[in-house]
Amino acid sequence: MAAAWSPPGAPSSWRLTAAQFEVLRDDEELLALAAAIPPDRLPPLLFQAAATFLVLELEPHPLRDWFPRVGEAQPPLPADFNAHYRAFCLDHRDRLLEVSSLHRYQMNEVGRCADVLPALSPAAQDPRGIALVDLGTGAGLALHLDRYRYGYRRGGNTDSVGDAGAAVVIETELRGEVAPPIPAALPRVSHRVGIDVEPLDLTDPDVRRWLAACIPQEIGAVTRFHDAVQVALAHPADTVRGDAGEVLPAVVASIPEEALVCLIDTYVHVFFSAEELERFRTLVDALGAERDLDWVSIDPLVPMGDAATSSVLGIDVPPALLRRNRREGVFGVIGRLSYRGGRRSGALLGLAHPGAAWLEWLGPGAIVSSPRHS
């Protein structure tokens, strides 16, 4: 976990997030505490969010000052951070467990829109306009991807797209040799709807406080989240409560025929069981046999971790990528399944840091899966 968020060469602002995971990983007492969290509630992530929640709420000195504040630079991480953080977690063990029992880990990283955007480039050129369906939308921040500005940096150059006055600016560092297909203009979104088993109501200040604690404590991520919440509050979008595998057919049926349906899935299907995932793929195949659609996934390989063998979309993964996954820890694999006239095609397109610190494009149609419908 720590290596994934803050690998060698990552900006130093990610060190705090990595250090929080390291303290937990290396401490028997804290691990025993986290072990009280049921496995299906993602113990390391929920533990980290609960600890962050308490730091932001209780403002302990000096710990609070090592966590970022919107409008200020990321504070440097002192050598004694680990000892202070460990002691704080142990001193507040009861509240930590209480906060963990009252919440689910629900991280909304709006930065992932910078990874989705190039995967939408064929759809962005489609005259039909896009109907965005954000699966596992959480607070719905990705539903506004056409309202943000993006900066793709390589060396000293930045390729930007989006309104220069946008309230949310997402910047990411390009890695590798291949340039992602950044659309010249943002896609025209004609319809937007989110689906979530537990949609989050941003008008509730308690919800906003919990979500802010689920965000990695990196100043870019913290600022993006803060700004994106304002955009979402200003533009309420439809959200359907339910299991995506159950409600998707009705949601798609409610979208006007003339729109091109784009399903967005960022860090959602990676948490499905193998059976749920297979059922969902079959469902999308059935929907794609009826109307044109894209399914863009930014998810780690599955099963998550060293034992990964497959991509969420079911597209074959080359051995070199599986080896890289074992070496580097969790990163997002960008893939797209496209259904046009009942024919399916698919490709793994790129790799991305889980919090949008970097993006690496694999090249046009690096790996293509065979169509299932004809």
Ligand X SMILES: C[S@@+](CC[C@H](N)C(=O)[O-])C[C@H]1O[C@@H](n2cnc3c(N)ncnc32)[C@H](O)[C@@H]1O
The reply to whether 109 sits near ligand X by the rule CB under 6 A is: yes
CB of 122 to ligand X, least distance (A): 22
CB of 146 to ligand X, least distance (A): 17
| DSSP helix/strand/coil, 297 | strand
User: Is the backbone of residue 210 left (phi > 0), alpha (psi -120 to 50) or beta?
Assistant: alpha
Contact stretch for ligand X (CB under 6 A) within 25-33, 71-79, 87-95, 266-274 = 266-274
Which of 196, 218, 294, 299 lies at the binding interface for ligand X (CB under 6 A)?
196
Site for ligand X in 111-130 (CB under 6 A): 112
**C-beta nearest to ligand X: residue:** 136
Give dist(CA 361, CA 100) in Å, integer. 37
Which of 67, 267, 358, 361 lies at the binding interface for ligand X (CB under 6 A)?
267
Residue 90 dihedral angles phi and psi, to the nearest 5°: -70, -40
Comparing CB distances to ligand X, the nearer of 33 and 195 is 195
| DSSP helix/strand/coil, 299 | strand
The reply to whether 168 sits near ligand X by the rule CB under 6 A is: no
Q: What is the DSSP letter of 371?
A: P
Contact stretch for ligand X (CB under 6 A) within 8-16, 21-29, 176-184, 243-251 = 243-251
The reply to whether 106 sits near ligand X by the rule CB under 6 A is: yes
The reply to whether 108 sits near ligand X by the rule CB under 6 A is: yes
Q: What is the DSSP letter of 178?
A: B
Which of 197, 234, 274, 368 lies at the binding interface for ligand X (CB under 6 A)?
197
CB of 80 to ligand X, least distance (A): 32
CB of 85 to ligand X, least distance (A): 23
Would you report the helix, strand and coil content of the chain in percent, each value rounded to 5? 40, 20, 35
CB of 343 to ligand X, least distance (A): 27
CB of 125 to ligand X, least distance (A): 25
Contact stretch for ligand X (CB under 6 A) within 106-114, 118-126, 201-209, 223-231 = 106-114
Please say whether the beta carbons of 317 and 348 come within 8 A.
yes
Which ranges of the chain would DSSP assign to H, the alpha helix? 2-5, 15-25, 28-34, 43-58, 81-91, 93-102, 113-119, 121-124, 205-214, 219-234, 244-253, 274-290, 319-328
| DSSP helix/strand/coil, 175 | strand
Among 118, 110, 124, 216, which Cα is nearest to 176's? 118
Give dist(CA 86, CA 123) in Å, integer. 48
Which of 107, 213, 293, 330 lies at the binding interface for ligand X (CB under 6 A)?
107
The reply to whether 268 sits near ligand X by the rule CB under 6 A is: yes
For binding to ligand X (CB under 6 A), which residues are involved? 106-109, 112, 136, 138, 195-198, 243-245, 266-268, 271
